[in-house]
Structure 1
């Protein structure tokens, strides 16, 4: 066999590099971002996969996942501006600032604060902020996630970080529920904004619902339902659906 033929056979035997793809998923409630990535990796036989920005388990909405060589672009997507919609409730607090933990405080809300006061609170939380992440968060401290320390009842000193909130719109038609739309930078914790919003109104607050609708130019309306994507991807790969 000639050297040319041997070289051709050798190249044909080499694995073809995975160019990767960018996948938009509408994350289901109660799933962690890691749950979604792991489910896709197993079901769709991806050799490498990662997500571009964590969503809390009780949140829904746009989750960007990258596979193969596209995982090199994750930092680019994570750095882009994000839009969230949701509902906060004044008058009660929880340690996690959402419904993951039980209520631990109650405040009187027998009247609606003046519209101007609510608007001032939202304005105060707009622009560049020194924000303190929630204790129940995925921020690492001493090599461990903060939420693990919080669940053990450990007291931790959380450092502030610079974030930017470009807009904070509110709707009090269903008071004490306050519907909102927030446009913000990477690293912004909506639960922290909810906590601080309640404090500015001399009332506790917790996050009832949260949905991420946009990351940069990507919109949740273009995202796949998780099971639908898996089913169609497995069909393309010639795999039996589970």
Structure 2
């Protein structure tokens, strides 16, 4: 079986927990998730199965959509509601909706973010949360993120909800803390849901119950989306059977005229099946070379 399972991860499970359960249900070790979700967070977590595991880095690289709640007045060591309070401040004045909207809009575009100590970001080969658990201070890397859209969804009180579309590697916990700072208060993220990853949305999500039901009927393969759905943010080049044979053999090819700046791009056959992912050759722009090739 090859394809993408648009899983709606429930609270209480790590992303790795989900991978292990799906390995058992689909009876294969070739299972990989496309972007970690913390145990207390629910939402869209596409799972790649079979040959689709080869596209994990490309699907991970897509935009993500979240709905989060900012709680003003206190901050925690984990930057969310699971941590210990490290700063507290009485809220003497509730920010106006205009003030909140202005602050949210200030995060649009490319910005820099310092990941939280309780995260899986590695420094000197060691994860930040490992340093945090040992009460060790370490300099955290500044990372560049992109916020494509951000908007307030609720009225403003000591907390408020917002929706954000952002690049991979964005920590919404840290975004909530930074929003609070700009409003003049310590803050943390009290709730989070990931509603979209790339073209996979809550509307086409698959739950554990749906998988269990399908397994009982031996129809779990019907829940999988084709690989092409996880790559629709890339460019496409459709080839005939003659070129297809060369592609499946992993050959370099002359760069087609229609491939301009889409790098990498997907090669599909006449049946709309993904057969490879190619890129413009870094040493010869007149040629293209394979990154991933999929067997028939």
Alpha-carbon distance between aligned partners in 2 of 1:234 and 1:189, rounded to the nearest angstrom: 38
Matched, 1:39 2:21: yes
Greater shift after overlay, 211-220 or 142-151? 142-151
Matched, 1:96 2:70: no
SS at match of 1:138: coil
- Structure 1 unaligned spans of 5+: 1-18
If asked which structure has higher relative contact order (CA below 8 Å, sep 6+), I would say 1
Task: State how 1:102-113 maps to structure 2 within 5 Å.
Answer: 102-113=84-95
Write out per-residue CA displacement over residues 86-123 of structure 1, whole angstroms, 9 at most, x where no aligned residue. 21111111111112212221112132113332122112
TM-score (norm 2): 0.70
Q: CA deviation at 1:235?
A: 3.3
Q: CA RMSD in A?
A: 1.7
What's 1:54 paired with? 36
SS at match of 1:236: coil
Q: CA deviation at 1:57?
A: 1.4
Q: Is the 8 A contact 2:79 2:177 kept in 1?
A: yes
Alpha-carbon distance between aligned partners in 2 of 1:126 and 1:45, rounded to the nearest angstrom: 43
Q: CA deviation at 1:172?
A: 4.8
Matched, 1:232 2:221: no
Q: CA deviation at 1:142?
A: 2.1
Alpha-carbon distance between aligned partners in 1 of 2:219 and 2:149, rounded to the nearest angstrom: 43
Matched, 1:214 2:228: no
Alpha-carbon distance between aligned partners in 1 of 2:212 and 2:121, rounded to the nearest angstrom: 30
Alpha-carbon distance between aligned partners in 2 of 1:46 and 1:174, rounded to the nearest angstrom: 48
Task: State how 1:46-195 maps to structure 2 within 5 Å.
Answer: 46-173=28-155, 175-195=157-177
Q: CA deviation at 1:174?
A: 5.1
Alpha-carbon distance between aligned partners in 1 of 2:141 and 2:103, rounded to the nearest angstrom: 22
Write out per-residue CA displacement over residues 37-83 of structure 1, whole angstroms, 9 at most, x where no aligned residue. 11111343122110011111111100001011110111111111111
SS at match of 2:178: helix
Q: Is the 8 A contact 2:97 2:155 kept in 1?
A: no
Task: State how 1:194-209 maps to structure 2 within 5 Å.
Answer: 194-209=176-191
- Structure 2 unaligned spans of 5+: 221-296
Number of residues of Structure 1 aligned to a counterpart in Structure 2: 220
Q: CA deviation at 1:227?
A: 3.4
Alpha-carbon distance between aligned partners in 2 of 1:97 and 1:215, rounded to the nearest angstrom: 23
Matched, 1:23 2:5: yes
Query: Aligned pair in 2 of structure 1 residues 37, 234: CA closer, same or farther (>3 Å)?
Result: farther
Q: CA deviation at 1:221?
A: 1.8
Alpha-carbon distance between aligned partners in 2 of 1:173 and 1:120, rounded to the nearest angstrom: 14
